[in-house]
């Protein structure tokens, strides 16, 4: 209890609370954080929101009401980076309109475009008040104070201080408002230097958070009601966090420790590199019931010539061997990947190798992109750039194949009973929606009181990329990989 309240009557407490609120209302401001790109950006956006909440900012979705707009940007492909400047153009107009109404607006550019372009953004976009890279956003409060004095600060350092250690612990109330699934960044940066990719330049060298810090964050999330945690890293399976005793932990060890935290029903991790897919991690897919049967393992191409040109450090055979091992450890696992088509020098035969690889493996989902030249990366200056219409046709063919595989994967779950983590009320009254172990959205009729529970749902149909089903069990459902009969699944764990 607040010490000031000792000895107060309820009426006095109420009056004090009202005064606090009234004062808060006059001083509190509004922030809109617009996040682009990957899940790590989404995680950073939540950490920034938590930090700014302590600085007097409440979140809003209405851009014209925002006293502070943060664009948390993505630099991975040209289109993503271009979006930032068109958005800044719109914000400039808005800032002027608000100024005419006597309102100040601060515009911050964060994320990977901030990192890559730094002060250049201030020159190109006069409306921008501050630029903060992904490793520096814990310094936002001080930077906002500088921005208020029109000093237009830029911070794109890779500081030695611990960003996560400097960020406030999110309040339970704020965690609950975000639902029952959460991301936790465990690793940042990349040392692989694929020849097309900006990540090693924007996010820097590989660094892993200490396991104790990660586990403490997971414990805190779990205590606030989070049931599913996704461990994030640009190269998450290269995780090698140093524990207090000086030992290095692998991702498999971290997952095992996370699984033993009470309340953690489901674990996922993304994104992985084939070269770092260790046997212990593969074994975790067999041994850890909380680890969901889903693996996102980007291959980028099925052609050895392209893989070498991409500096991927693995070939087609290694990838196929890994997939065999993973499937042996976890039969029925949903596999996902990333592909790039139209990489410099890609011939029809190379592209054909990619199509054959996809046919051979059979993916549950996958992302595919046309190669985008990124200044400063080795592939950007290669002579044999592929014509855009050729790349478009390849992308179209690959996406059609992937969609057919995704549809087949989803169809194969019809008639099965899957454990579904109920995430939110559905679009129609009386309906809820959640995720299967394979990350498929599942809609079914049930009470919204089930949100946050894991229930057994019999899958009955497929609508585009989601499934529809019927609730058949509640009260003791689990992680259930879905590959086991429902009775076993329901008996093998328990809800608190």
Using CB under 6 A, list all residues that contact ligand SF4: 190, 192-194, 197, 199-200, 234-235, 273
Instruction: Please select the residue that binds ligand 5AD; options are 91, 114, 238, 340, rule is CB under 6 A.
Output: 340
Nearer to ligand SF4, 197 or 456 (CB): 197
Q: Which residues of 426-435 are buried (b: 16+ CB within 10 A; e: fewer)?
A: beeeeebbbb
Which residues, at least 6 apart from 335, have a Cβ–Cβ distance to it below 8 Å? 295, 297, 323, 326, 361, 362, 363, 364
What CA dihedral angle connects 277, 281, 285 and 288, to 10 degrees? -160
In angstroms, rounded to a whole number, what is the distance separating the alpha carbons of residues 128 and 140?
Answer: 14
Distance from CA of residue 396 to its chain's centroid? 26
Nearest to 295 by CA among 286, 285, 283, 303: 285
From ligand 5AD, ligand SF4, none, interface partner of 252 (C-beta below 5 to 8 A by class): none
Nearer to ligand 5AD, 30 or 370 (CB): 370
Q: Are 128 and 106 in contact (CB under 8 A)?
A: no
Q: x/- string (CB under 6 A) for ligand 5AD, residues 41-80?
A: -----------------------------------xx---
Using CB under 6 A as the binding rule, the residues of this chain from 257 to 316 that contact ligand 5AD are 298, 300
* Beta-strand pair 154-155/266-270: unpaired
Tokens of 17: 């609370």
Tell me how far, at minimum, the Cβ of 171 lies from ligand 5AD, in Å.
Answer: 32
From ligand SF4, ligand 5AD, none, interface partner of 190 (C-beta below 5 to 8 A by class): ligand SF4
From ligand 5AD, ligand SF4, none, interface partner of 76 (C-beta below 5 to 8 A by class): ligand 5AD
Tell me how far, at minimum, the Cβ of 366 lies from ligand 5AD, in Å.
Answer: 10
From ligand SF4, ligand 5AD, none, interface partner of 200 (C-beta below 5 to 8 A by class): ligand SF4
Within 13 Å of residue 88, how many CA atoms lie on the same side as its CB?
25
Q: Which residues in 266-333 belong to E strands, given as ranges?
A: 266-270, 294-296
Tokens of 496: 């608190």
Using CB under 6 A as the binding rule, the residues of this chain from 157 to 216 that contact ligand 5AD are 196-197
Tell me how far, at minimum, the Cβ of 327 lies from ligand SF4, in Å.
Answer: 23
Using CB under 6 A as the binding rule, the residues of this chain from 353 to 382 that contact ligand 5AD are 369, 371-372, 374
| Site residues for ligand 5AD per CB under 6 A | 76-77, 196-197, 298, 300, 338, 340, 369, 371-372, 374
């Amino acid at each position: 209890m607040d010490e000031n309240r000792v000895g107060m009557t309820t009426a006095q407490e109420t009056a004090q609370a009202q005064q606090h609120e009234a004062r808060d209302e006059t001083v509190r401001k509004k922030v809109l954080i617009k996040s682009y790109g990957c899940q790590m950006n989404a995680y950073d956006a939540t950490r920034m929101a938590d930090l700014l909440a302590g600085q007097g900012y409440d979140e809003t979705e209405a851009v014209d009401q925002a006293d502070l707009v943060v664009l948390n940007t993505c630099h991975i492909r040209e289109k993503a980076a271009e979006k930032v400047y068109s958005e800044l153009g719109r914000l400039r107009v808005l800032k002027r309109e608000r100024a005419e109404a006597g309102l100040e607006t601060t515009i911050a550019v964060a994320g990977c475009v901030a990192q890559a372009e730094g002060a250049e953004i201030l020159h190109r976009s006069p409306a921008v008040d501050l630029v903060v890279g992904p490793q520096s956003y814990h310094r936002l409060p001080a930077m906002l104070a500088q921005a208020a004095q029109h000093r237009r600060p830029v911070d794109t350092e890779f500081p030695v201080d611990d960003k996560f250690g400097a960020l406030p612990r999110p309040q339970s109330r704020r965690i609950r408002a975000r639902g029952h699934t959460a991301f936790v960044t465990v690793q940042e940066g990349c040392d692989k230097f694929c020849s097309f990719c900006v990540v090693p330049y924007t996010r820097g060298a590989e660094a892993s958070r200490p396991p104790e810090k990660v586990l403490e964050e997971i414990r805190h999330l779990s205590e606030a009601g989070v049931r599913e945690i996704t461990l994030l890293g640009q190269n998450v399976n290269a995780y090698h966090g140093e524990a207090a005793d000086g030992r290095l932990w692998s991702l498999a060890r971290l997952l095992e420790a996370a699984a033993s935290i009470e309340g953690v029903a489901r674990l996922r991790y993304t994104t992985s590199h084939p070269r770092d897919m260790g046997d212990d991690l593969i074994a975790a897919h067999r041994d850890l019931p909380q680890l969901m049967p889903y693996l996102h393992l980007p291959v980028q191409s099925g052609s050895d010539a392209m893989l070498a040109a991409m500096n991927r450090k693995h070939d087609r055979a290694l990838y196929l061997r890994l997939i065999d091992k993973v499937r042996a450890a976890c039969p029925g696992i949903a596999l996902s990947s990333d592909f790039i088509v139209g990489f410099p020098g890609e011939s029809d035969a190379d592209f054909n190798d990619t199509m054959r690889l996809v046919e051979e493996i059979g993916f549950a989902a996958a992302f595919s992109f046309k190669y985008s030249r990124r200044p400063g990366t080795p592939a950007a200056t290669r002579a044999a750039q592929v014509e855009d219409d050729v790349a478009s046709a390849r992308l179209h063919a690959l996406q059609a194949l992937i969609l057919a595989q995704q549809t087949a994967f989803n169809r194969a779950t019809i008639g099965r009973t899957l454990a579904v983590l109920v995430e939110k009320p559905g679009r129609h009254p009386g309906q809820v929606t959640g995720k299967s172990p394979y990350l498929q959205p599942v809609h079914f009729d049930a009470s919204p009181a089930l949100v946050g529970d894991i229930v057994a749902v019999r899958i009955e149909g497929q609508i585009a990329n989601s499934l529809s089903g019927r609730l058949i069990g509640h009260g003791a459902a689990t992680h259930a990989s879905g590959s086991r009969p429902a009775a076993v699944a329901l008996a093998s764990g328990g809800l608190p």
